[in-house]
Chains A and B, each alone.
Chain A
Amino acid sequence: MKAVQTLSSRTVVLPSSNIDTDQIIPARFLTTTTREGLGRSLFADWRYDAQGTPKPDFILNRPEAAGCRILVAGCNFGCGSSREHAPWALLDYGIQAVISTEIADIFRSNSLKNGFLPVVVDQATSDWLLANPGAEVTIDVAQTTLSLPTGTRVKFPLEDFSRYCLLNGVDELGFLLDRQPQIEAYERQRQI
Chain B
Amino acid sequence: MAKSPQTMFEKVWRQHEVIGESAETPAVLYIDLHLIHEVTSPQAFSVLRERGLPVRRVDLTLATMDHSTPTRTEQIFGGAPISIDSAAKQIRELEINCAQFGVELLGLRHAQRGIVHIIGPELGITQPGKTVVCGDSHTSTHGALGALAFGIGTTEVGHVLATQCLLQRKPRTFALNVSGRLRPGVTAKDLILGIIGKIGVGGGTGHVIEYRGETIRGLDMDERMTICNMSIEAGARAGMIAPDETTYRYLAGRPRAPQGEAWERAVERWRQLPTDEGASFDKQVDIDASSLEPMITYGTNPGMVIPISSSIPTRANDAVFAKSLAYMGLEAGAPIKDQPVNVVFLGSCTNGRISDLRSAAGVMRGRKVAKGVQMLVIPGSQQVKKEAEAEGLDRVFIDAGAEWRESGCSMCLGMNGDLVPKGQYSVSTSNRNFEGRQGIGARTLLASPLTAAASAVRGRVTDPRELMS
Instruction: Give the B interface residue count (CB, 8 A).
Output: 70
The answer to whether B18 and A182 touch across the interface, beta carbons within 8 angstroms, is yes
**Contacts A31-B89, A45-B440; A109 near B156 (Cβ below 8 A):** yes
The answer to whether A160 and B23 touch across the interface, beta carbons within 8 angstroms, is yes
Cβ-closest chain A residue relative to B85: A31
Cβ-closest chain B residue relative to A101: B202
Task: Say how far B152's CB is from chain A's closest CB, in angstroms.
Answer: 6
Residues of B within 8 A of A74 (CB): 320
The answer to whether A105 and B237 touch across the interface, beta carbons within 8 angstroms, is yes
Within 8 Å of chain B (Cβ to Cβ): is A8?
Answer: no
Within 8 Å of chain B (Cβ to Cβ): is A82?
Answer: yes
Say which residue of B30, B127, B202 sits within 8 Å of A102 (CB atoms): B202
Could you tell me which residues of chain B, from 122 to 168, have a CB within 8 Å of some CB in chain A? Answer: 127, 129-130, 135-137, 151-156, 158-159, 162-165, 167
A46-89 vs B, Cβ < 8 Å mask (1 yes, 0 no)? 00001000000000000000000000001110011111100000
Residues of B within 8 A of A173 (CB): 47, 51, 155, 158-159, 162-163
User: By DSSP majority rule, is chain A's interface helix, strand, loop, or mixed?
Assistant: loop
Residues of A within 8 A of B385 (CB): none
The answer to whether A113 and B435 touch across the interface, beta carbons within 8 angstroms, is no
Say which residue of A17, A26, A33 sits within 8 Å of B320 (CB atoms): A17
The answer to whether B135 and A82 touch across the interface, beta carbons within 8 angstroms, is yes
A190 to B164: give the CA distance in the assembly, Å. 13
Cβ-closest chain A residue relative to B90: A31
Residues of B within 8 A of A79 (CB): 201-202, 235, 301
User: By DSSP majority rule, is chain B's interface helix, strand, loop, or mixed?
Assistant: loop
The answer to whether A20 and B202 touch across the interface, beta carbons within 8 angstroms, is no
A180 to B54: give the CA distance in the assembly, Å. 14
Q: Which of B30, B205, B303 has the most CB of A within 10 A?
A: B205
The answer to whether A113 and B237 touch across the interface, beta carbons within 8 angstroms, is no
A35 to B155: give the CA distance in the assembly, Å. 11
Q: Which of A23, A84, A190, A192 has the most CB of B within 10 A?
A: A192
Within 8 Å of chain A (Cβ to Cβ): is B415?
Answer: yes
Could you tell me which residues of chain A, from 22 to 36, have a CB within 8 Å of some CB in chain B? Answer: 22-23, 26-28, 30-35
Say which residue of A30, A113, A172 sits within 8 Å of B39 (CB atoms): A30
The answer to whether B43 and A179 touch across the interface, beta carbons within 8 angstroms, is no
Task: Say how far A149's CB is from chain B's closest CB, in angstroms.
Answer: 25
The answer to whether B415 and A161 touch across the interface, beta carbons within 8 angstroms, is no
Instruction: Give the A interface residue count (CB, 8 A).
Output: 52
Cβ-closest chain A residue relative to B45: A33
Task: Say how far B57's CB is from chain A's closest CB, in angstroms.
Answer: 8
Say which residue of A20, A109, A110, A177 sits within 8 Å of B301 (CB atoms): A20
**Contacts A30-B68, A79-B235; A176 near B432 (Cβ below 8 A):** no
Say which residue of B28, B201, B237, B437 sits within 8 Å of A76 (CB atoms): B201
Task: Say how far B42's CB is from chain A's closest CB, in angstroms.
Answer: 4
The answer to whether B40 and A84 touch across the interface, beta carbons within 8 angstroms, is yes
Say which residue of B43, B53, B413 sits within 8 Å of A27 (CB atoms): B413
Within 8 Å of chain A (Cβ to Cβ): is B269?
Answer: yes
Say which residue of B47, B93, B153 sits within 8 Å of A106 (CB atoms): B153
The answer to whether A176 and B435 touch across the interface, beta carbons within 8 angstroms, is no
A110 to B152: give the CA distance in the assembly, Å. 8
Say which residue of A30, A50, A105, A109 sits within 8 Å of B415 (CB atoms): A30
Within 8 Å of chain B (Cβ to Cβ): is A169?
Answer: no
Within 8 Å of chain A (Cβ to Cβ): is B414?
Answer: yes
Task: Say how far A161's CB is from chain B's closest CB, in angstroms.
Answer: 5
With A30-B39, A84-B40, A106-B151 already in contact, 15 other A-B pairs whose C-beta atoms are closer than 8 Å:
A23-B434, A26-B440, A33-B42, A33-B43, A76-B205, A76-B235, A82-B152, A109-B156, A110-B154, A114-B155, A160-B24, A161-B25, A175-B167, A177-B162, A192-B129
29 contacts between A and B (CB under 8 A): A18-B201, A18-B301, A22-B432, A23-B436, A27-B415, A30-B67, A30-B68, A33-B46, A33-B89, A34-B43, A50-B440, A76-B201, A76-B202, A79-B301, A80-B232, A82-B152, A83-B40, A83-B153, A84-B153, A106-B151, A161-B167, A173-B155, A173-B163, A176-B28, A176-B162, A176-B165, A176-B167, A179-B28, A186-B18
Query: What residues make up the interface of A, taking CB atoms closer than 8 Å to B?
Result: 15-18, 20, 22-23, 26-28, 30-35, 45, 50, 74-76, 79-84, 102, 104-106, 109-110, 113-114, 159-161, 172-173, 175-177, 179-180, 182-183, 186-187, 190-192
